[in-house]
Amino acid sequence: MQFLKILSAILIVIIVSACSNDFELTEKSEPLPIIYGVIAAQDTAVYIRVEKSFVSQTISGKDLALDPNNLYYDNTDVVLRHVKTGKEYTLNKVDGNLEGYKRQEGAFASAPNYLYKIKRNEINLIPGDDYKLIVRKDDGNIVCESSTPVLGAMTDDKGDILSPSVSAKLSFIYGSSLDVSFIPDKNAVIHDIIFKINYREFKSGIETKKSIEWKAGTNVSSKSGSSSGQVYSYPVSGRNFYQFLAGAIPPNDPLNPVSRVFDNITMKIISGGQPIKDYVNIGQINLGITSSGEIPVFSNISNGGRGLFSSKSTFERAGMILSNASLDSLRIGIYTKSLNFK
């Protein structure tokens, strides 16, 4: 689960479930709020998507979805309230397409792509504190609400990463595992472990810097240690590391030779709150061989709304290097020898 990609799919699933072609059978149904927001104290800005379902007895849902006027509320305020102080911060309505968040082409109108935004220096989210998302009409009536605690990010300064240590060289061994253990914020309950492999290619005398990301652990939620359950641990397969590289990097072509040099690895751990874990888990309920095929819809939005409001954080450690044995395996190992690492 890479939050910025997987969670963005929530909106599509929710709106499709709420806005099917069964609209023609619906009588006097009120639109449902459709919300998506994952806030982080580390981000330079907060973006919240606020949309609505739509109904018609005469027009198909497919045609309605192509009209942006059917997707967005008019005369609506979107605010974040710091629960401890009661202070409210009003978000500004912007076009995501102009903010670098272009909406993908699909069943729904792609332009304009309205989002609600507030910059970090305007709100200064406080890790550990609760924030309430409130969507209300200009007459003061509440459309919907949802609350989440803001996750604090792990750091090496606080010793949150137990393994691998800051000074350790990464050792990927075919028949063994690299242990990744960490102590996240108490409200962070689901995690992705990602290794960004940085290397250089030399081809026809030209040097090119390259990088690829390996999602080594997805939806990690198993804890170990004391009954307080603060330590999360995940074994990263050494064999999988080399198999990933073999599948992600083209082999050397003797007719158009390329050589490669490993530089370093950046380790990232992306953590999410309980609503994110609930969303992932509920989507897996009916995926087994005996499932009914009907996947429940998760939402933590009030007033019958659909969607998700939660928090995330990101730990990042750059400049990690491989052990000498792992460099040898990279150069001459059975999975990666054709990649021509020197």
pLDDT per residue as tens digits for the range 156-202: 999 999 999 999 999 999 999 999 999 999 999 999 999 999 999 99
Predicted pLDDT at 168: 94
Cβ-based neighbours of 288, under 8 Å, separated by 6 or more:
none
The CA-atom distances, in angstroms, between 124 and each of 35, 39, 119, 133, 310 are 22, 11, 8, 15, 16
Asked if 36 contacts 308 with a C-beta cutoff of 8 angstroms, the reply is yes
Neighbours of 191 (CB within 10 A): 27
Residue 122 has pLDDT above 70, yes or no: yes
Least confident of 19-33, 118-132, 209-223, 284-298: 19-33
Dig out the tokens for 166 from the structure: 């800051």
- pLDDT digit string, tens, across residues 39-87: 999 999 999 999 987 655 555 556 555 567 778 888 899 999 999 999 9
Q: Above 80 in pLDDT, residue 97?
A: yes
Tokens of 309: 């409001």
pTM for the model: 0.85
Averaged pLDDT score across all residues of the chain = 85
Distances (CA, A) of 128 to 78, 149, 273: 22, 6, 12
Residue 12: pLDDT band with limits 50, 70, 90: very low
Banded model confidence at residue 222, pLDDT cuts 50, 70, 90? confident
Token pair listed for 145 = 């609400």
Section 10-20 average pLDDT: 37
When pLDDT is averaged across residues 250-254 and rounded to a whole number, the result is 94
Give the whole-number percent of the chain exceeding pLDDT 70: 80
Give me the pLDDT at residue 67, please.
67
| Residue 338 scores a pLDDT above 70 | yes
Count of beta carbons in the 10 Å neighbourhood of residue 324: 10
DSSP one-letter string for 251-307: PPBTTB--EEEEEEEEEEEEEE-HHHHHHHHHHTTT-STT--S-PPPPB--STT-EE
Which range has the worst mean pLDDT, 89-98, 104-113, 116-125? Answer: 104-113
Whether the per-residue pLDDT at 301 is higher than 60: the answer is yes
- Classify 115 as helix, strand or coil: strand
| pLDDT at residue 143, as a whole number | 95
